[in-house]
Chains A and B, each alone.
Chain A
């Protein structure tokens, strides 16, 4: 019998080749453990449930080398405390009480940071270049803006840790952008700890180049009476996957996850959310809306767990998509797992075309076909965008939508 030798190229190994091990003082045992895990791992495939609709070929087919030294700075907030990372390195920061970067901290200070046995989380930690470590113990007078700039052809592993102490408030904007010709891979992980009675509102805006790959994970822990809002706005990028995991550990907490994605050409946008209601008397709202043109693909996967003793939970999830061409598609999968009996949960997912009767109605009043369609899709996502309370950020998003898709608000 002829012997067949198949050599499987490990795609994760190939990805790691261009990376340097982190110089951040993470726990040594953790680094060894995660390093071993990565040694024995490969990139996820569509055989894994949580990657079923998400092929990583765009990532595994790209070779990453370096970066160019020129970046155009993007100012969104006039008033915010700005922290700027460029190609994974800190470029500038406006100091405020409680702000440090990971490279500045000792292993004792970093002892709380952990990564799970999940390829991109582990990869991010083992090769982390930098990131913010923010502890808010007194509400700041201004919002915070963390800007992530990339240009060139590089893998950026930034890791952030943000904690709001009891009864504080913060408003944070995280912007990811890159130069037009860039081909980066951004793998960003952020941990948010929202302590008792704290209010945290985060808006994440992704406007990287049409050739960039972006994976990000937000791990959120909410304590009693806390309020956490995340608005994820994806307007560009070749391949984007957002994973949000919220563990609601304290009673009377409120969680709001809002998302807008508008994609065209061959773009791929994936939003994976998990809200884990571990305790009683909490509320979560999830609203994600997408518009897909050309050959763009969207994925929405929303998991909600309600544990056995988590009674009196209200959990609402809604995902709606408009497909603007025959070649565009969406895979939507809501997953509710409810083990408590006194809860109110709902989910709904719709994917369809524009309401032609509404298009006709608007045209019959004098709007062109294009203007009518633009008005309808912009209104469709506008209902999510208006949840962004910061008007400067909202205007910035409207401006981007106008620039990219000609929508007017």
Chain B
């Protein structure tokens, strides 16, 4: 579904990604772990199309399309979704209205008719139940006054509404207590199909108790330095990232 080859990227002249390779197929869940500053959030930002980053080498193809040629909104319409580490509060813009606009822009891009008000409201009810998001929150301004957990649940609610092919969860576990973590992970698991895929970016192993990955990658100093089965996460938790550093150096 997505192929990242030899990706190099700079921000303000500083090289963050130094030859990153990653391939994700439909039906798979990939976890990317790594110490702070390894480039995890940079990868998420580049996939979503943040313009501050300069791609100096490498390629990203998404279902055969050159992703780097697409604007942020075109990527979203092609089926890429980023769950933000820090969801933005937008006063005055209702969650529901914005989602309907987003959904209809995506449908229009795919040559589909706008969704009917009735179908849309039914969808809101179903999907907000999935992440146990109070329907009152669905009607409020986007993330305004939401708690940390509510913001993250709102991200997964949006993901459920937009039904992406590839979801990137950027540190979705940060700032969540165990109950919120379970709810968010449950939502992600329920949305899993043989046709979609997820990249779960996390610093800690604990999210992976709930979202079971097919592959765990270790990102260190701008590159994937180790790939393994889900058990790799446990080893990392036990031995820490120093173990990886040592094994690379030796």
B71 touches A363 (CB 8 A): yes
A367 touches B102 (CB 8 A): yes
Report the bound CA distance from A382 to B91 in whole Å. 10
Interface-side segment among A20-28, A311-319, A369-377: A369-377
Within 8 Å of chain A (Cβ to Cβ): is B213?
Answer: no
Residues of chain B within 8 A (CB-CB) of A363 are 49, 71-73, 76
Interface-side segment among B82-90, B118-126, B196-204, B240-248: B82-90
Residues of chain A within 8 A (CB-CB) of B88 are 355, 357-358, 360-361
If A360-B72, A365-B162, A366-B162 touch, whether A383 touches B105 (CB-CB below 8 Å) is no
If A364-B82, A366-B73 touch, whether A379 touches B101 (CB-CB below 8 Å) is no
If A365-B99, A366-B162, A368-B73 touch, whether A360 touches B50 (CB-CB below 8 Å) is yes
Q: Within the complex, what minimum Cβ distance (angstroms) separates B123 from chain A?
A: 15
Report the bound CA distance from A363 to B106 in whole Å. 11
Q: Within the complex, what minimum Cβ distance (angstroms) separates A354 from chain B?
A: 11
Residues of chain A within 8 A (CB-CB) of B90 are 355, 358, 361-362, 376, 379
Within 8 Å of chain B (Cβ to Cβ): is A81?
Answer: no
Report the bound CA distance from A375 to B99 in whole Å. 12
Residues of chain A within 8 A (CB-CB) of B106 are 366
Which residues of A, 64-116, contact B by the 8 Å Cβ criterion? Answer: none
Q: Is the interface of A mostly helix, strand, loop or mixed?
A: helix
A380 touches B92 (CB 8 A): yes
A365 touches B98 (CB 8 A): yes
Report the bound CA distance from A362 to B106 in whole Å. 13
Within 8 Å of chain A (Cβ to Cβ): is B216?
Answer: no
Q: Within the complex, what minimum Cβ distance (angstroms) separates B244 from chain A?
A: 31
Q: Within the complex, what minimum Cβ distance (angstroms) separates B125 from chain A?
A: 20
Report the bound CA distance from A362 to B97 in whole Å. 12
Which residues of B, 98-124, contact A by the 8 Å Cβ criterion? Answer: 98-99, 101-103, 105-106, 109
B101 touches A371 (CB 8 A): yes
B101 touches A364 (CB 8 A): no
Extra inter-chain contacts (6) besides given A361-B142, A365-B162, A367-B73, CB under 8 Å: A364-B75, A366-B73, A366-B102, A366-B105, A366-B109, A368-B73
B residues whose Cβ falls under 8 Å from a Cβ of A:
48-50, 71-73, 75-77, 81-82, 84, 87-88, 90-93, 98-99, 101-103, 105-106, 109, 141-142, 158, 162
A residues whose Cβ falls under 8 Å from a Cβ of B:
355, 357-358, 360-369, 371-372, 375-376, 379-380, 382-383
